[in-house]
Amino acid sequence: MAVYLDNNATTALDEAVLDVMLPYMREVTGNPSSVHRFGRLQKDAIEQARESVARLLGARAEQVIFTSGGTESNNLLLNGFSQRLMQLDQGGRIALSAIEHMSLLEPASHLSLPVDSIAVDGEGRVELSAIQQVVQDQTKLISVMAANNETGVIQDLAPIIKFAGERGCFVHSDASQAAGKIPLNFIESGLDAMTVSAHKLYGPIGAGALIIDKKLPITKLQFGGSQEKNLRAGTENVPAIVGFGKAAELACETLQQTCLHTRSLRDALEKGLKKLSVVSIFSETVDRLPNTVQFGVSGFDGETLLMQLDRKAIAVSSGSACTS
């Protein structure tokens, strides 16, 4: 029997999600921008999904901008923010933690604004002291992920957001790995922007969202339409968005139960791993996602061990899927 243990790379599409998507792929037609009945049905489906995603994230529906996934959301955030600053004739700097996903690190290297890297400690945590060492008077945006896709370490964002607010600096968090696994509340957190992705929580590949507060300066990157609050031109992927909404709805309903269940599985796995003297569990003593374990095996190369497990029909990852 095959064992799939790579759910931080992508999750299986929930059957209930597929069921709500299928009518919009085969039966319900119409462009969401059309004013006739068929178009309105599509638009209504998008808005219902927007409400569901907002509910999961503790946001308002009008703060949810649908995209094709976490990568596009992160690119829209960085490039849209920096371009808007240039349009306003404002300079600035951006600070990113060193452990961000490649969809933030790579586009950051192409920005016209200077970018500073925030170091993490030995447990993979972004400490406030590290941010204080990096942030300058010109820093306009700080980005720190909510939880790491490899170690599972959950970042303490509250002091970072407080520090940034005192300096008039905006804060973004990539919550792609956290959504549906731990409680999130965009409004109460004080964040200015948040990234999420549907396929990390049993939704479809090809749908994501950038959650933004209206005070965040940002501009569109693609032109030819006024969809998504005039921030993402192009006809919306209605089936994927509907699926995202259903996945968010299911995650809301089962969040507490899922957290307890996956944590018990993680703890059982780690208990077994600790019996092996050659195994070291990373970031074991800090707060982590309930579904994530990262460990090393002394004397084994990670990629070699991965392939050996693959031959046994056990799927694991030795790092982020986007950099493999």
Q: Could you tell me if 118 and 126 are in contact, meaning their C-beta atoms sit under 8 angstroms apart? A: yes
Q: Could you tell me if 103 and 321 are in contact, meaning their C-beta atoms sit under 8 angstroms apart? A: no
Active-site annotation holds for 252? no
- CA 280 remoteness from chain centre: 27
Q: Could you tell me if 99 and 155 are in contact, meaning their C-beta atoms sit under 8 angstroms apart? A: no
**Residue in this structure with the two tokens 């489906």, named with its chain if needed:** 45
Which of 169, 252, 259, 322 is catalytic? The answer is 322
Distances (CA, A) of 165 to 65, 159, 168, 170: 23, 10, 5, 7
CA distance 283 to 228: 39
Angle between helix axes 37-57 and 238-273 (nearest 10 degrees) is: 30
Sequence-distant (6+) residues with CB within 8 A of 168 are: none
Sequence-distant (6+) residues with CB within 8 A of 97 are: 117, 118, 120, 126, 143, 144, 145, 155
Active site residues: 322
